[in-house]
Amino acid sequence: MPEKERPRTEIERLLQDYLNYLEIEKNRSPRTSENYKHYLNEFLKSTKVSSPAGITDGVVREFRVALARREGLKRVTQGYYAIALRNFLKYLAKRDIKTLSAEKIELPKVPGRQIDTLEYGDLERLLAAPKGDSLRDLRDKAVLEMFFSTGLRLAELCALGRGIDLKRGELSVRGKGDKLRVVFVSDSARDAVQRYLAARARAGGAGDAEDKLFVSLDRLGRVIGPITPRAVQRLVAARATQAGIPNHIHAHLLRHSFATDLLVNGADLRSVQELLGHANISTTQVYTHLTNNQLRDVHKAFHGARRKEG
C-alpha cells in the first residue's frame, strides 16, 4: 500500500492559500508563485514552524542569520527570502490571523545595481553583423533590430506572434505581472522583420511555430520550432563575436542599450519606465548612472561659459 500523505500543518495550509491568492487575485506569474513557494517552504522547513503564532521575531532572526552565513548566498537573494516572508505576513494580517507584524521584517541593504551597456559603436556593429540573405541571417537581423527598437525582455520577444501589425509601427506586449504595454517598432526593425517573414514564407515548414514570429533553425537552416530564449542568447553571442566585440554580450544588454539611448537623447524617466514596463520608477533609475558621461560633457560645455569669456 502506498504510504499515507502526511497531514498538512496549519501554516502549510495557509501558505497554499497564499500561493493561490497570488495567482488568482493578484495575477502574479507562475514563476513568481514558484519563487515564493520555494523561499517560504525553505523558511518553514528550516524553522519547523507549524502555525502563524510560531513565526516570532526570534525565529525569523535565527533564520536570517543562517542565510547570511550560507556560503555563496548573495545578499540580494537573502533579500528575496525577506520579501517573500514579509508579503506572506501581510497576507495573514489581512485575514486577521495573529502572527508577527510584517513591519518587523527589515530588508537587507544591497549595493546599487550596476547596469552594463554597449558602446554605441559596438551596438552599430552588432546590429549590422547579419549581412546575408539566408533565413538565419535575416532572422538574426530582425531579432537584433526588434530588441533595440522595442526594449523587449527576452521572454517577451520569444512570445511575439506572427500576426503583429507592422504597418502601425506599434504592438501590445504582455509583460511581467500579465500587464499590457505598447512598444514601438522603428523603420529599420520593421524592414528587417518584413524581409525575414518573406524568406520564412519561402522556406515553409513552420509546423508548430506557425503562429510565432521568430523560429528556431537547425544547422541546415530548417525551421524546427518556435524560437527559445536559449537560441536567442546563442545568436546574440555569435553575432557579437562576428562583430568583433570582445566582451560577453547577452540579449538583455540590448534592452539596457534601448533604455540608455532614450535617456541620453533626452527622454524623461517616466516615459522610459512606461516603455520598459517597469512597475516602479526606482527600477528604471538604475539606468541614469549610464548618462553621467553625457552630463559631464554638458557641464563642461555650458557651466561658467561667461567666466571663460572674461
Residues with catalytic roles? 153, 176, 252, 255, 278, 287
What is each CA distance from 192 to 37, 122, 142, in whole angstroms? 42, 19, 5
Q: DSSP labels for 57-78? A: HHHHHHHHHHHHHSTT--HHHH
Q: DSSP labels for 272-306? A: HHHHHT-SSHHHHGGGGGGGHHHHHHHHHHHTTHH
**Are the beta carbons of 183 and 150 closer than 8 angstroms?**
yes
Task: For residues 285 and 259, give the distance between their C-alpha atoms in angstroms, rounded to a whole number.
Answer: 10
C-alpha cell at 16: 497554499
Phi then psi dihedrals of residue 43, to 5 deg: -60, -45
Task: For residues 56 and 36, give the distance between their C-alpha atoms in angstroms, rounded to a whole number.
Answer: 20
For residue 212, with 0-12 CB atoms within 10 Å meaning exposed, 13-18 middle and 19 or more buried, which class applies? middle
